Structure 1
Amino acid sequence: MPIWKRNLYVCWFGMFVTGIGMSQIAPVLPLFIKQLGVNSVGLIAQLSGLTFGITYIVSAIFSPIWGHAADKVGRKPMLLRASLGMAIIIFCMGFSTNVVMLIVLRLLQGAITGYSTACTTLIAVQTDKEHAGYALGMLSTANVAGSLIGPTIGGFIEDTIGLRPVFFITGLLMFIAFLATLLFVRENFIREDQKGLSSREIWNSVPERRLTIILSVTYFIITFGLYSIEPIVTVYVAQLSKETSHVALIAGLVFSASGLANIIAAPRLGKLSDRIGAHKIILFSLIAAGLIYIPQAFVTNPWQLMGLRFLLGLTMGGLNPSVNTLIKKITPGSITGRIFGFTISAGYLGVFGGSVLGGQAAAAFGIRSVFYITSALLLFNAVWVYFNVYKRLENRDVVSVNHKE
């Protein structure tokens, strides 16, 4: 088995578990905060939002920093640091005795992360051009699927054996990811020294700066669209459902449907992007996703919503790997980690922005407005991509500047 493929499988498991670790707290957070001594409904809601969002904000800040470190010392050391650090921190959350302790640990979780950045960089620089779309497509399913399925897993564990075991089990899984990385990931790291270069000089060394910015913004909008429904899905399902006893379970299934579809579609669309061009997949997927959001505002039962969310996941599966494939092709190998760090930061901000603004839009204009707003955002992004990416790359081959190719 080629080294890149073995590393891909290990990184997939690690990123999947990392995604679960970042998101599994969502459905149990209000219950856990109440258990820690907060009784005011309004204060529980405020603290839940702060505790959930702070991890993604801090991750967005630290992701480029860890990407820089990966370019300097290697990607495997960053994988080991992030997986072991998250295992310890998440496990310790189960021993929280007050909300302040929980918030501090969530903050540290965001700061110690960087597993996704290091994984994406490692696979990008190790994989040849012919398999880049498949490899990055496969990898992109892991974090997205873990993040989307995480709330269902967290809710199931809480319902079965209690609140605190959610953290203990997730920490144990992260430790298994650490061991798998230690034993099976192989990297022959050769540092391309850029000592003495300022951040501005490094940025100026990127051949396609405008395209890199457009792709990062697109990545932000992708994750924004996926997570805009998170704060409202339970309420929306309750409105649509005649059965009130299983609303939480049905809501978890609705939200996780996108993750399942993403797992199915991303590797296949990644392979297709290797054949026809990643820019075509990006444009098609943005248009399809934007259109699929509209009928979600008109569903009459939760199962229709679940089906549409599944279709949405199929279209979204073409976006992440295609964005990463294009970034790999236009970025010099010596700064790949830093550029992927910025892109993944945009994704973290999209998770936070989608969760927060989705809830605010629902409160101000009604739940169904969230789908219209997200649809408009995706379709506007498609128009922007058409003129600035698709038309530009359709007339010429994307020149790869990665020294590995």
Structure 2
Amino acid sequence: MNSRPTSRSPAMGFIMATVLIDMISVGLIIPVLPQLVGGFAQSPGEQIAAYGTVATAFAIANFLSSPVLGALSDRFGRRPVLLMGFTGLACSFFITAIATQLWMLVVVRLFSGAMNANAAVANAYVADITPPEQRGRRYGLLGAMFGLGFILGPVIGGILGGRYGLRAPFFAAGALAVCNGLYGFFVLPESLPSDRRRAFSWARVNPVASLMHLFELKGIGALLIVIALGSLAQFMLHTTWALYTGHKFGWNPEQIGYSLLAVGVMSVLGQGLLAGPFTKWLGAPRLMVAGMLSSGLCYLAWGLASQGWEMYAAIFANVVGFAAGAAGQTVIANAADPKSQGQTMGAVTGLSSLMMVIAPILGPRLLQPFADLPPTDWRVGMPYYLGGALLLAAAALASVHFARLRRAPAAAAAS
């Protein structure tokens, strides 16, 4: 992959456009992938099990590769690693579109997960070009692009899947990934100057060593558990939303796309408009805690919902949860060394990817025993009860952690 230097100066506009196109292409497939997998199953229970296998394949590969790709971006720059990720996504989407067997979907998701560390590299890109005091606002802008991608992607994917067949969104997603690769090749500048690059070392990039790197960051501590719990809840949502709403409310791909449109709108509103003011008002630590409390209650409301409109009501009520999306990244980025932002963000992504491995095993399996029950049975919401409990526990741990950090300077001065 060509990584020639460019004369353009790195800017937020470049990486925001890259993330937006990337998330649109990913969002396109969300409403239809469970149903595409279901085409190879004989019952709702088999569909859930097969979808869990496909999602787990992506997660395992991403967990193993994210630290490697993050460290490679520290060595060779962000741009070539992003270009490689776009290429991998495009190939995976096109192959998925023509898959005729379940094993083909599993293999291509393994490949896609191994090639894709775009989120980690994009976060490192922002850290490269942003002073610490501005990272809260800029991570909020980046989060808004993720949200905007979820506004456009799932809606377009749902409409394409509902009107032109389940495979149409995968062809569209592949085409967008190609466009993003071309944009990156001809337009996206490199953000990491040569004097801030570090040598690549295999000793630092195995998943366990990468996660241990996070323990070396001062002021992180229990936040590792907080990040893990929050990520597990988030990925349980991702792996069950289409299955859950389809079973409980009978939603088709187009209706699922519109529900994710609501999530995207709130993400853009929260992270694009409110994250900066909220961070300035509360500070990243308090915003992080408040956001997890709000999101935990939102999950519980989803699990208890008996009508589709209640899902929307919970989404719109979770304003603080959406605004807090970038707070954790800000805390970690500010604790990391400027020369290891890629490795650090890769390690955080690796931790999230580990939860992504667990989520499709846990979430769909919690739903599977109740797949043949009436949609009104309260037990159908089991994945969301657990997700809410995880987020509330994470909020409690984070609150205790930040309280200890605030007391530490006073204790040191007294001694």
TM norm. shorter chain > 0.5 = yes
C-alpha displacement at 1:86, in angstroms? Answer: 1.8
Aligned to 1:378: 391
C-alpha displacement at 1:68, in angstroms? Answer: 0.5
Task: Describe the shift of the 1:393–1:76 C-alpha distance in structure 2 as closer, same or farther (beyond 3 A).
Answer: farther
Residue 120 of structure 2 is aligned to residue 117 of structure 1 = yes
C-alpha displacement at 1:395, in angstroms? Answer: 6.6
Aligned to 1:296: 302
C-alpha displacement at 1:307, in angstroms? Answer: 1.6
Task: Describe the shift of the 1:356–1:318 C-alpha distance in structure 2 as closer, same or farther (beyond 3 A).
Answer: farther
1:2-401 to structure 2, matched below 5 A, reads: 3-4=9-10, 6=11, 8-22=12-26, 24-33=28-37, 38=40, 40-41=42-43, 43-143=46-146, 146=149, 150-187=153-190, 188-190=192-194, 191-193=196-198, 198-199=203-204, 209=217, 211-212=219-220, 214-230=222-238, 233=241, 237=245, 247-272=252-277, 273-274=279-280, 276-312=282-318, 314-362=319-367, 363=369, 366-393=379-406
Task: Describe the shift of the 1:215–1:146 C-alpha distance in structure 2 as closer, same or farther (beyond 3 A).
Answer: farther
Task: Give, in whole Å, the separation in 1 of the partners of 2:201 and 2:248.
Answer: 60
- Between stretches 44-53 and 122-131, larger displacement belongs to 44-53
C-alpha displacement at 1:180, in angstroms? Answer: 2.0
Q: Deviations over 1:110-155 (max 9, x none)?
A: 1111111111101112112332111111112334654686444333
Query: Aligned partner of 1:388: which letter?
Result: H
Task: Give, in whole Å, the separation in 2 of the partners of 1:71 and 1:170.
Answer: 28
Task: Describe the shift of the 1:103–1:121 C-alpha distance in structure 2 as closer, same or farther (beyond 3 A).
Answer: same
Aligned residues: 388
Task: Describe the shift of the 1:248–1:56 C-alpha distance in structure 2 as closer, same or farther (beyond 3 A).
Answer: same
8 A contact 2:32–2:253 mirrored in 1 = no
Task: Give, in whole Å, the separation in 2 of the partners of 1:356 and 1:201.
Answer: 24
Task: Describe the shift of the 1:366–1:280 C-alpha distance in structure 2 as closer, same or farther (beyond 3 A).
Answer: same
Q: Secondary structure at the match of 1:228?
A: helix
8 A contact 1:60–1:348 mirrored in 2 = yes
Aligned to 1:402: none
Q: Deviations over 1:81-103 (max 9, x none)?
A: 11123223322332334333332
Task: Describe the shift of the 1:196–1:255 C-alpha distance in structure 2 as closer, same or farther (beyond 3 A).
Answer: closer
Unpaired segments ≥5 residues, structure 1: 398-405
Task: Give, in whole Å, the separation in 1 of the partners of 2:80 and 2:18.
Answer: 14
Task: Describe the shift of the 1:274–1:76 C-alpha distance in structure 2 as closer, same or farther (beyond 3 A).
Answer: farther
Task: Give, in whole Å, the separation in 1 of the partners of 2:182 and 2:140.
Answer: 24
Task: Describe the shift of the 1:54–1:342 C-alpha distance in structure 2 as closer, same or farther (beyond 3 A).
Answer: same
Q: Deviations over 1:24-76 (max 9, x none)?
A: 434433543566xx463355543332223311221122111100101111111
Report the TM-score when normalising by structure 2. 0.80
Task: Give, in whole Å, the separation in 2 of the partners of 1:355 and 1:193.
Answer: 35
Task: Give, in whole Å, the separation in 1 of the partners of 2:308 and 2:118.
Answer: 35
Task: Describe the shift of the 1:254–1:94 C-alpha distance in structure 2 as closer, same or farther (beyond 3 A).
Answer: closer
Q: Deviations over 1:229-268 (max 9, x none)?
A: 4555456556775xx6x55443443344223211111133
Query: Aligned partner of 1:69: which letter?
Result: L
- Between stretches 333-342 and 386-395, larger displacement belongs to 386-395
Q: Deviations over 1:258-290 (max 9, x none)?
A: 232111111334313256421121111112222
8 A contact 2:136–2:326 mirrored in 1 = yes
Task: Describe the shift of the 1:316–1:351 C-alpha distance in structure 2 as closer, same or farther (beyond 3 A).
Answer: farther
Aligned to 2:413: none
Unpaired segments ≥5 residues, structure 2: 1-7, 371-377, 411-415
Q: Deviations over 1:207-234 (max 9, x none)?
A: 9536445444333333333343455545
Q: Deviations over 1:150-203 (max 9, x none)?
A: 444333212222233322211111121122222332235224445779539998
C-alpha displacement at 1:367, in angstroms? Answer: 2.2
Task: Give, in whole Å, the separation in 2 of the partners of 1:235 and 1:31.
Answer: 8
- Between stretches 190-199 and 123-132, larger displacement belongs to 190-199
Aligned to 1:400: none
Q: Secondary structure at the match of 2:23?
A: helix
